[in-house]
Structure 1
Amino acid sequence: MTDPATFGAQEARSLIARKQLSPVELAKACIARVEALDHAVNALIARDFEGMLDGARKAETAVMAGDPLGALHGLPFAVKDMIDVTGLPTTFGSEAFVDNIATSDDAIVVAMRSAGGLAMGKTNTPEWSAGGNTRNRVNGVTANPYDLTHTCAGSSGGSAVALACGYAPLATGSDTGGSLRNPAAYCGVVGLRPSPGVVPGDTRAVGLFPISTSGPMARSVGDAGLMLSVLARADNTDPFTTVINGRTPWDADSFANLPRRDLSSLRIAVTEDYGFAPTETLIRSHFRAIVPKLAPFLGELEETTPDCTDADRIFSVLRGVQFLGIHARLFDETPERVGPNVADNVREGRSYSAEDVAQALFAQSRFHRDWQAFFETLDFIISPAVAISPRPWREMYPARIDGSPTKSYYHWLAMAYASTIPGHPSITIPCGMDANGMPFGLQIVGRRHDDLGVLAVAAELEAIIAGTDMAVPAPDLAALRAAPPLSQAAEFLTFN
């Protein structure tokens, strides 16, 4: 008998509607996965299994009564520990918020629940989502299920691991410099960073800085599209969500029913580094090996990249200023409760002058215009999702890549923040195992606001990959069950 925890969101939702899968059976299977595996990976750091089971029983009653069913009816979902779920802690991975219990649901959770989704708990994140390694001094480390000594990336690392291990078919993520794309790549799942405003951020602290956004994470492109159809709602509290007469310009329902796309008609840019990302030789080699395998299905390929001049400086300044605005008071008043990455960001933000910020904003505008000109003649970009293969989680960040020093603790995320700066939709899909035996993520970037096109192309490529040696296998669940508790590992909670 198939374990219901292996079902994707679309498959499970269809089976539930046809009365071939009980929401209670699905919820219990997901709980069993968590209880069998989470000791090894530490992905789900707060749980509401009783609440999920109660919701599952109500969902089953609705099915049997023939009631209308929402898009996510009876589907468990995991929530990144950066947004609120009523009754559960929202720690942000911060020692200052260990006892912070949410009294209401974040708008994203409200949308998911309204569509019939069942919140199962909170997933681990670096402190305040600062960094690409999911570890903090409150909840400890989250390990990569493909190698428990290695990082799952971040900051949505707990969500990616939960998906890879079968805890739930859907999980929330958020992304500034690849925070949902990078862990998706490292864990063999799918992560979509939408165009700014497609997923409203009514609690985003810096509303007029569109470098951070929430997005869907799932085990397939279609499932990510289904989740996006629920998240992409009209909400004029987000200045980047266009709402006219109560509607957005994008049709949210279309994300759940992706159109077929003729890949052979497309003009696609191919780049292994965007001209500036410090890309590891191993990653370059893997990318060069997979492009010829995909090329027969694609149209015109051109090795080129948009102009990414000043990308590092633009991202550093805007990111630093954002962190300064959000975390300066916490850093000044309780520095002992602030971890090294957040502290570094506050200090970095203070190092910039008003002129630095002005120049970064002007440079971002030029960067955006250059990207729009680039996409006048090309339809999509494909690239690696991350510049390096997963490293040991005890390494807070890579100080060197192929012997060359990195500029900052987030410089290795450059492959992702290239498309963050101009605000283009970007998706990561699994595409083979690299030379280290770890999942490799392929990034697909489209025109601004062509989120539907990005999903459709990704779905076509996903189908091609599935029938080849580029398919990424599931983690070894038996090995995870037999693994010792991650909490016993040295440096699980302490790091410099």
Structure 2
Amino acid sequence: MNPCDLTAIEARDAIRRRDLSPVDYARALIERVERVDHAVNAVVAADFDRVLDDAREAEAALASGAELPPLHGLVFAVKDMIDVAGLPTTFGSPLFAENVATRDDPIVAAMRRAGAIPLGKTNVPEWSAGGNTRNVVYGVTANPYDLAKTCAGSSGGSAVALACGMAPLATGSDTGGSLRNPAAFCSVVGFRPSPGVVPGGDRGIAALPLPTSGPMARTVADAGLMLGILARPDRRDPYTAVIDGRTLWAPERFASPGRVDLATLKIAVTEDFGFAPTEAIVRSAFRRAVAAISPALGAVDETSPDCSGADDIFSVLRAVMFLGSHHRRVVETPDRVGPNVTANVAEGLALDAVAIADALTRQSAYYRAWQSFFETTDYILCPAVTVSPRPWRELYPAEIDGRPTRSYYHWLAMAYAATLAGHPAITIPCGRDALGMPFGLQIVGRRHDDAGVLAVAAELERVIAGTSGLEPPQPDLAALENAPPLKDAEGFRDFG
């Protein structure tokens, strides 16, 4: 097997047994990038000489017999929203096209301490605003299963890098599904943890924990392994409780969440949470998946929490966040800010204090409704995304099954249902839809039941792997290698 196709745990164990050299492993991943990335444009900045230098250091430590950290010799991709010292951090914005980081972000620093090596930066929409990974700095990132279609976003470059075997682990972040949506579109795993589990010490509005970072991988176990590193004490995030230097959650549980008997659980299934504008093809794929895995489940009920007002609440809180972060940029450099960010700032400027107070109050009721629901339900199964992958030239789905969407982010409603309640949610691969594109199953658990969500996801991953017709697809690497450069496609670097 090509080392690129090993899971993170398999690669880690092979390195520890000295069956796989860290240098050979790094070279294989670099070679994979050089073979296929021209077709998908996932890795947009890298210093491969430094990657190999870091791998040689890892190999020397291995040879010395020193105690090895948990991710020793592994390689991970980094979303272009956080810093890797010496590499550009552009946020997909022309305002930062020449920005080179001078330090590692705390997430990257934690991964380095654990022995992992940054491969390079992965592409994002401008400021991670939107579910289509494209920007004027680096252009578009294509879906490896159909190069004419989007990989979603905002962690689209990370998802594509994982799907193509360029790295076994990748960082991502999520507000309205930015981890989960691209994972679904690319047949990989994306986990949005509970607020504070992965600290966001530089979150612009610390009191609003809608955005969070989280792990992306090709398997649930690998995502849990990475989450155990990302979940660390950091008092700068008010949602990360730190007592005597430790968090309230044990990070080691994420890497080893244990087994769970699916037949003992009370599972809710929903196609739309009662409000998400879900495409018929997605509903059909979900019903087919639930029917196939139901024999492994216990009590299953078609129901969902009360999500009244979700669209309005999310739009207001999102607008407040973008207004706080980007108002000055839109005012001072309007020609260098894209349409999604501009639209969010305009929404924020149209709000008054009453509207903001109302949204915060309604979110409180929304949260409490979810807590009541989970008193009698253990987990929710639902689609990860409302639509099958669309062409990447479409900035966002303006309509779904003939019905207009409310905004460029309305089609992310299946994901932000859980965001608003602050519940952990994971997307795992679950076969293909009727168009042959990857389908993602989303699992949502109780707030702070992150280890439980990982355990249930791992069990469902096993069930899916053994169920005919639900096998996770793999991209055709030979076809990608022979594809023309994506940069030559019309519209490659357009905003909209």
Contact 2:145 2:476 in 1 (8 A): yes
1:222 is the counterpart of 2:221: yes
The 1-side partners of 2:289 and 2:17 are apart by: 39
For 1:370 and 1:489, the matched residues in 2 are separated by: 47
Could you tell me which residue of structure 1 aligns to residue 492 of structure 2?
A: 492
| Percentage of matched positions with identical amino acids | 66
The residue identity in structure 2 corresponding to 1:129 is: S
Preserved contact between residue 130 and residue 154 of structure 2 (Cα < 8 Å) = yes
In structure 1, C-alpha distance between the alignment counterparts of 2:271 and 2:358, rounded to whole Å: 28
Do 1:185 and 1:440's aligned partners in 2 also have CA atoms closer than 8 Å? yes
Deviation digits for residues 41-92 of structure 1 (CA, Å, limit 9, x no counterpart): 0000000211111111111111111111111110110000000000111000
SS of aligned partner of 1:93: coil
Q: Which moved more, 1:143-152 or 1:472-481?
A: 472-481
- Distance in 2 (CA, whole Å) between partners of 1:48 and 1:216 is 22
- Alpha-carbon distance, 1:258 to partner: 2.4
Distance in structure 2 (CA, Å) of the matches to 1:90 and 1:248: 29
Residue by residue over 1:105-140, the C-alpha shift from the partner in whole angstroms, topping out at 9 and shown as x without a partner, is 000000000000000110000000000000001100
Consecutive unaligned residues in structure 2, runs of 5 or more: none
Instruction: Tell me the secondary structure at the aligned position of residue 421 of structure 1.
Output: helix
Counterpart residue type for residue 485 of structure 2: P
Point out where structure 1 has 5 or more consecutive residues left out of the alignment.
none
Q: Which amino acid aligns with 1:464?
A: V
For 1:390 and 1:236, locate their aligned partners in 2 and report how far apart those are by CA, in whole Å: 39
For 1:247-286, what aligned pairs fall within 5 Å after superposition?
247-286=246-285
1:36 matched to 2:39? The reply is no
Residue by residue over 1:177-236, the C-alpha shift from the partner in whole angstroms, topping out at 9 and shown as x without a partner, is 000100000000000000000000112112111100000000000000000000000111
Moved more, 136-145 or 198-207: 198-207
Matches within 5 A, 1:79-98: 79-98=78-97
Aligned partner letter, 2:382: S
Structure 1 CA distance, aligned partners of 2:203 and 2:6?
Answer: 32
Q: Which amino acid aligns with 1:342?
A: V
Note if contact 1:425-1:449 (Cα within 8 Å) is conserved in structure 2.
Answer: yes
Structure 1 equivalent of residue 136 of structure 2: 137
Q: Name the residue aligned to 1:478.
A: 478
Could you list the runs of 4 or more consecutive aligned residues of structure 1 that deviate by over 4 angstroms after TM superposition? none
- 1:440 paired with 2:439, answer yes
| Cα-to-partner distance string for 1:402-433 (whole Å, 9 max, x where unaligned) | 00000111000000000000100000000010
Q: Deviations over 1:125-179 (max 9, x none)?
A: 0000000000001100000000000000000000000000000000000000000
Give the AA of the match of 1:230. I
Give the TM-score normalised by structure 1.
0.99
Counterpart in 1 of 2:151? 152
1 CA distance for matches of 2:402 and 2:298? 37
Aligned residues: 495
CA distance in 1 between counterparts of 2:79 and 2:397 reads 24
Check if 1:289 corresponds to 2:252: no
Aligned partner letter, 2:106: A
Counterpart of 2:303?
304
Report 1:96-175 matches (<5 A): 96-175=95-174
> By how many angstroms is 1:254 displaced?
1.3
Match of 2:236 in 1: 237
Deviates more, 1:220-229 or 1:17-26: 17-26
Q: Which residue of 2 aligns with 1:382?
A: 381
Are the counterparts in 2 of residues 48 and 119 from structure 1 also a CA contact under 8 Å? Answer: no
CA distance in 2, matches of 1:12, 1:204: 33
Distance 1:164 1:93 in 2: 21
Aligned counterparts, 1:422-433, within 5 A:
422-433=421-432
When the two chains are superposed, the root-mean-square deviation of aligned CA atoms in Å is 0.6
User: Distance in 1 between the 2:359 and 2:482 partners?
Assistant: 50
Query: CA offsets, 1:356-391, max 9 Å, x none?
Result: 100000000000000000000000000000000000
Contact 2:181-2:384 within 8 A present in 1 as well: yes
Q: Aligned partner of 1:490: which letter? A: E
Q: Secondary structure at the match of 1:79?
A: strand
SS of the equivalent of 2:247 reads coil
Q: Confirm or deny that 1:13 pairs with 2:12.
A: yes
Cα distance in 2 for partners of 1:141, 1:424 equals 31
Pairing 1:351–2:347 present: no
What is the deviation of 1:473? Answer: 2.1
2:333 corresponding residue in structure 1? 334
